[in-house]
Amino acid sequence: MNRKSAAAVGTAAMAVLAAMGMWRWDAGTPAVSETNPQHREQVSLRFTYWGSVEEKKAIESALARFSQEYPWITVDPIQLPNSDYNTKMLAMSASNEEPDIAYMTTELGEAFARQDKFLNFYDFLDRDPELRKEDFLDYLWYRSSPDYAWGISTAGECFGLFYRKDLLEEAGVQPPPAQAADAWTWDEFVSAAKKLTLDRNGRNADDPQFDKDHIVRYGIMFETWSDPLNNFIFGNGGDWVSPDRTRFTLNSPEAAEAVQKLADLANVYHVAPSPFESKSLPAMNIALQAGLAAMIVDGQWTNLDLGKAKVNYDIGVLPKLKRSVTVGLSGATVLFRSSKHPEEAWLLYKWLADPNKAINLYTDGLWMPVYKKWYTDPDLVAQWVNPNPHAHPPGFKDAMMKQLLENGIPSVGYDLHNQKEIFPEVTAGLIPVWQGEESAQEALNRIADKVGGLYSQ
């Protein structure tokens, strides 16, 4: 980290103030003794975020403890619905009502960053006596240039294969391995999904009399937004853009093959719901809990809801095509340039990112840490993984923690240009594939013709 030159005494004083929670972004602001917090200027921060009911509880609990440690700072948490978060944020920005600190989708964040709406996280790190850029996992930064990070991943996140242990045992299916070296091949995965899919007469998808029109339990469920697909696109050697990052390449044979294999789960093997069938099903974690699905491809954040519900589940690594990978991802956390209290917003970010401060966000299964040492130091790992076996089942350490560190590939959201325009085109263009009306190669060729120019702009 590049630190501002200062006399040793000044550096030491800054470190003391930081430890007491009194470090200020404006170096000339006089510090006020924490023993007299009533003399500090009262500050109110607005914080927008998304998430489930359980996530809302976890966040509000962490924020309450933050305000206890920093009594001159109050936080107004604003939870916005996942489905229209971007719409709400656009409206808030247009009305000059931007929050101080916020979750941000990668596509809207990239658009806002082009409008210079965010403060540079690297500037805060250069001034902070406690943290260095090197303390973080390497892939976390959302950058508009090498020295400008407009956002940072809210947490460490990745994907795994969640499964109901009891349902696999009843079907005589061995659990998916937690180690990458032992990952299921695609054929092994399809075979397991067939045995786990049941029609209303109790026949599985291997039975010649299986009724594909009246399925009561699917062997597998997955979502069709970019990153769940990327686990398999990347694992098959595909990518959205060329290695030199100049061309849109989602229509490569490797990417098309991966997408086609996923579509075939619904349209050929009938072990996953089609988009039409998915409309009548609950969210995937609830479907797993209710036994409507035996396995789901989901992100580690679903440990929170499954753990709270005490579902009898575990986690394996995803089935591999050419190699076993997981996508490293997370929505961004951003600090708005319009904030009147950027140093307090930075304090709040540091609080939420520090498992020592907001430990329930990690022990309850919502997040994985952003700091490297919380993956590599056994004592620190034990602090956030071991206390809650409901949220961190036996496969978690290998299938998620180890897999992210050793076989994680950063999400396309970290550096794809013009995401706000490209993502909707890809999503809409793949609908005929999921419906079995068009091959993946045909659809991706058409998508590439349409959005290739958008990427290069």
pLDDT tens per residue, range 237-258: 999 999 988 899 999 999 999 9
Pair 232, 185 in one domain: yes
Confidence tier at 376 by pLDDT (50, 70, 90): very high
Give SS3 for 210: coil
Last-in-domain residue among 339, 367, 385: 385
Output the six-digit token pair for 309. 């519900």
- Report the distance separating Cα 106 and Cα 142, nearest Å: 8
285: exposed, middle or buried (Cβ count in 10 Å: 0-12, 13-18, 19+): buried
What's the CATH code of the domain at 342? 3.40.190.10
Overall average pLDDT of the 402-422 stretch: 94
| Helix orientation angle between 226-235 and 253-267, rounded to the nearest 10 degrees | 120
Q: What is the pLDDT of residue 3?
A: 30
Residue 372 pLDDT > 60, yes or no?
A: yes
CA distance to 254, 393, 397, per residue, from 300 (Å): 26, 11, 11
Pair 220, 176 in one domain: yes
Residue 335 pLDDT > 90, yes or no?
A: yes
Pair 86, 215 in one domain: no
Q: What is the pLDDT of residue 414?
A: 93
Boundaries of domain holding 132: 42-157+330-385
pLDDT above 90 covers a percentage of the chain that reads: 84
Q: What is the DSSP string of 390-415?
A: TTS-TTHIIIIIIHHHHHEEE-GGGT
Q: Is residue 215 part of a domain?
A: yes
Residue 6 pLDDT > 60, yes or no?
A: no
Q: Is residue 192 part of a domain?
A: yes
Tell me the pLDDT tens digit for each residue of 127-181: 999 999 999 999 999 999 999 999 999 999 999 999 999 999 999 999 999 999 9
- Report the distance separating Cα 320 and Cα 343, nearest Å: 45
Q: Is residue 37 part of a domain?
A: no
Pair 320, 218 in one domain: yes
Count of residues in the chain: 457
Give SS3 for 386: coil
What is the phi-psi region of residue 291: left when phi exceeds 0, alpha when psi lies from -120 to 50, beta otherwise? left
Confidence tier at 457 by pLDDT (50, 70, 90): low
Q: Is residue 14 part of a domain?
A: no
Q: Please compute Rg for the chain using Cα positions.
A: 23
Q: What is the pLDDT of residue 27?
A: 35
- Report the distance separating Cα 374 and Cα 390, nearest Å: 20
Residue 8 pLDDT > 60, yes or no?
A: no
Residue 15 pLDDT > 70, yes or no?
A: no
Residue 98 pLDDT > 70, yes or no?
A: yes
Residue 22 pLDDT > 60, yes or no?
A: no
CA angle 34, 38, 41 (to 5 degrees): 90
Q: What are phi and psi of 165, to 5 degrees?
A: -60, -40
- Report the distance separating Cα 184 and Cα 219, nearest Å: 15
Q: Is residue 256 part of a domain?
A: yes
Q: Which long-range contacts (CB under 8 A, 24 or more apart) does 8-14 make?
A: 11/129, 14/129
Residue 24 pLDDT > 70, yes or no?
A: no
Q: Is residue 30 part of a domain?
A: no
Residue 112 pLDDT > 80, yes or no?
A: yes
Pair 271, 371 in one domain: no
Give SS3 for 381: helix
What is the phi-psi region of residue 235: left when phi exceeds 0, alpha when psi lies from -120 to 50, beta otherwise? alpha
Residue 28 pLDDT > 50, yes or no?
A: no
Give SS3 for 170: helix
**DSSP code at position 41:** P
User: Domain count of the chain?
Assistant: 2
Q: What is the pLDDT of residue 39?
A: 53
Pair 350, 318 in one domain: no
Pair 307, 349 in one domain: no
Nearest to 99 by CA among 81, 114, 80: 80
Pair 180, 140 in one domain: no
Pair 339, 306 in one domain: no
- Report the distance separating Cα 433 and Cα 68, nearest Å: 52
Pair 193, 290 in one domain: yes
Last-in-domain residue among 339, 365, 385: 385
Q: The tokens 């291997």 sit on which residue? A: 206
CB 156 within 8 A of CB 303: no
Give SS3 for 334: strand
Pair 290, 380 in one domain: no
In angstroms, the first-to-last Cα distance of the chain is 32
Residue 37 pLDDT > 60, yes or no?
A: no
- 9-13, 260-264, 276-280, 331-335: lowest mean pLDDT where? 9-13
CB 230 within 8 A of CB 327: yes
Q: What is the pLDDT of residue 453?
A: 83
Confidence tier at 355 by pLDDT (50, 70, 90): very high
Q: The tokens 């009938």 sit on which residue? A: 270
Nearest to 336 by CA among 142, 116, 66: 116
CA distance to 86, 258, 397, 403, per residue, from 238 (Å): 28, 8, 27, 19
Q: Is residue 11 part of a domain?
A: no
Confidence tier at 2 by pLDDT (50, 70, 90): very low
Q: What is the pLDDT of residue 54?
A: 85
Pair 133, 209 in one domain: no
Give SS3 for 118: strand
Overall average pLDDT of the 368-378 stretch: 97
Give SS3 for 245: coil
CB 341 within 8 A of CB 101: no
